[in-house]
A and B are shown apart, each in its own frame.
Chain A
Amino acid sequence: MAEHPEAAPHTHEKREHWSGQTAFILAAIGSAVGLGNIWRFPGQAYEHGGGAFMIPYLVALVTAGVPILFLENAIGHRFRGSAPLAMKRVHRNAEGVGWLHVAICFVIGLYYTAIIAWAVSYFFFSFGQSYADDPAGFFTGEYLELGEAGTVSLSFVPQVLIPLAAVWVVTIVILALGIHRGVERLNIIGIPVLVATFLVIVVRALFLDGAADGVAALFTPDFEALTDPQVWIAAYGQIFFSLSLAYGIMITYASYRRRRSNITAPGMVVAFGNSSFELLAGIGVFATLGFLAHQQGTTVAGLDNLAGPFLSFVTFPAVIAEMPGGAFFGALFFGSLVLAGLTSLVSVLQVISAALQDKFGLHPRGGAVAVGLVSAVLSIIGFGTTTGLYLLDTVDQWSNQLGIVAGAITMIAAALWFGRRGHELERHLAAVSTMRPGRYWLWLVNAVALLLIYMFAEKAVSLVQDGYGGYPGWYLAVFGWGTAAFLLAVALLMPLLRWRRDIERFHAWPSREQLALPAEVGERHTEDYDPREGRT
């Protein structure tokens, strides 16, 4: 079998694989379902028209979520590489787009770990209910020992630092075990446990006094909101961030699928699975908020902190304190935060590890340890101190709201506008999948790119003009715009380094000929050698 390309040394066929389709689907859902599903979606829906929000939300899911998910899956599956490698194969000058994804994942991994560490602490606090008397004071005072906003402190907080270090150790071990034995096993066990746990939480919450009022507050429609463009942008933003699009995660995860794999139909399961969990979480969160309002003799509208970290670490502890059997409920809630967070964190770090493996020829274990150690040290310095919460808030704005949108726009531009791969990717999906992407797919991807350009510009202008969160200008310049500068620097500089692996010996399958496309001209090697067809 000497003519078989897999037998040749240094080819890229020796890639790790998922054990099967179900394992991939669970891992992709595990990545998509994260903290944002629990604390971002319910608040977004509540603020943007309640039940009426579900209309733009569903439109966004079908017109943006699914098409971009297909695009990332197609890029990763056809070009079989980490984000930088796959993007380089999409267009020879697009490697930096992949590194932009990697840099975003690096930054997000640093602070996402901190939130999981808080949830680990709160899981244990639940048994003793140490947060019960004064949840807000406990979170910012006793637990985080929060310093002054807009300052940087190197005064470490042991009760944050220890779980943070522990989360890093667990994560590095999972990544080092590789795709099959680490990432896959975490999700095969973790996702069913997460869903079952959350079902218990939601059913329990629905039987609390005031639960119906809470759920009504979430779903009562304000149809006027549908005429407000900001509501539609919020819906597209929610779908986009929630599905973990444009982090390079789906490119990376799809590259571990076998070539002869169904891509689109499992993608639909991932997209609807993510939204299904989000809806479940919304019902659970608002039923619980209804109970809290009932206990405090007010309405849901009269409560504070209905979204973000404060929903989880201040509002929920207040509920748990007032609930019969609160310790058990609290442990389940914070346990599910840890699980939802961990399955997402691992996917984010896998993007970086995969990129380092491809670029520098590292073994999975080497890639995992390299990423893990550097990240762990930076994460502990930045977020294990008394000012970690402010840094998290600021870095999140720039990396998430600006960086990811830029990552999506550049990905679409490289694949469709400069690389002219649209029809190739469309036919690739149709050739390997049980469901065709459809004639509107490319049209939708292009339209989403225009919307994203608008969202990026709007956010950038707002951050320049108004700053963010009331932090001082120097602080935002260093940590906000500094984050943006870091992302840009990685995207521009990493492509200058040499690939330590032979990445040229690569043949996309199905070949362009099999997809009834004209052969490519130029230096690419896709078409000149395809022994599977017996023409060497």
Chain B
Amino acid sequence: MNADALVLMLVSIVLIWGGLVASIAYVARRPENDHMPDGGEDTRVPD
């Protein structure tokens, strides 16, 4: 494989898969907003 192709493949992998890992880490660290406005409770799911 030529160097250009290799570099572009690696950059794409780092940016896209890195973006996935970073966004998962972001959600995992803070799954919900702790400072939401009051209200907004939902009722139970009907069957």
Contacts and interface: CB of A to CB of B under 8 A. Distances in A.
Interface string A275-287: 1100100010000
A13 interface: yes
Nearest to B24: A269
Contacts of A259: 40-42
Contacts of B8: 50-52, 54, 219-221
A530 B39 contact: yes
A276 B16 CA distance: 6
Contacts of B15: 58
Interface string A48-91: 00111010001000000000000000000000000000000000
A416 B39 CA distance: 26
A434 interface: yes
Contacts of B13: 279
Contact of A17 (B19, B38, B45): B45
A272 B6 contact: no
B4 A272 contact: no
Interface residues of B, number: 34
B33 A14 contact: no
A238 to B, nearest CB: 13
B30 to A, nearest CB: 5
Contacts of A533: 38-39
B43 A13 contact: yes
Interface stretch (A114-122, A209-217, A244-252): A209-217
A215 B36 CA distance: 47
Interface residues of A, number: 51
Given A14-B43, A213-B1, A275-B16, A219 B36 contact: no
Contact of A434 (B2, B19, B26, B38): B26
A16 B32 CA distance: 20
A268 B42 contact: no
Contacts of B27: 21, 25, 262, 265-266, 268-269, 434
Contact of B31 (A21, A218, A511, A532): A21
A70 to B, nearest CB: 13
A458 interface: no
B40 A510 contact: yes
Contacts of B42: 6, 13, 15, 17, 258-260
Interface string A2-29: 0000100000011111000100010000
Contacts of A273: 20
A272 B20 contact: yes
Contacts of A530: 39
A50 B5 contact: yes
B47 to A, nearest CB: 9
B2 A268 contact: no
Nearest to A51: B8
A221 B40 CA distance: 50
Interface in A288-315: none
A182 B36 CA distance: 30
A519 interface: no
A532 B38 CA distance: 8
A509 interface: yes
Contact of B16 (A180, A212, A279, A431): A279
A208 to B, nearest CB: 14
Contacts of A450: none
A509 B38 CA distance: 9
A433 interface: yes
Given A51-B8, A220-B2, A272 B16 contact: yes
A271 B23 CA distance: 10
Contacts of B20: 269, 272-273, 275-276
Contacts of B39: 509-511, 514, 530, 532-533
B37 A510 contact: yes
A196 interface: no
B17 A216 contact: no
Given A272-B19, A272-B20, A212 B45 contact: no
A132 interface: no
A272 B23 contact: yes
A435 interface: yes
B40 A51 contact: no
Contacts of B2: 216, 220
A16 B47 CA distance: 9
21 contacts: A14-B46, A21-B27, A21-B31, A50-B5, A50-B8, A58-B15, A215-B9, A216-B1, A216-B2, A259-B40, A265-B30, A268-B23, A269-B20, A269-B23, A276-B16, A431-B33, A434-B31, A434-B33, A435-B26, A532-B38, A532-B39
List the 8 shortest-distance A-B pairs measured between CB atoms, nearest first. Answer: A51-B8, A532-B39, A259-B40, A219-B5, A268-B23, A272-B20, A272-B19, A216-B1
Interface of A: 6, 13-17, 21, 25, 50-52, 54, 58, 180, 212-213, 215-216, 218-221, 258-262, 265-266, 268-269, 271-273, 275-276, 279, 283, 431-435, 509-511, 514-515, 530, 532-533
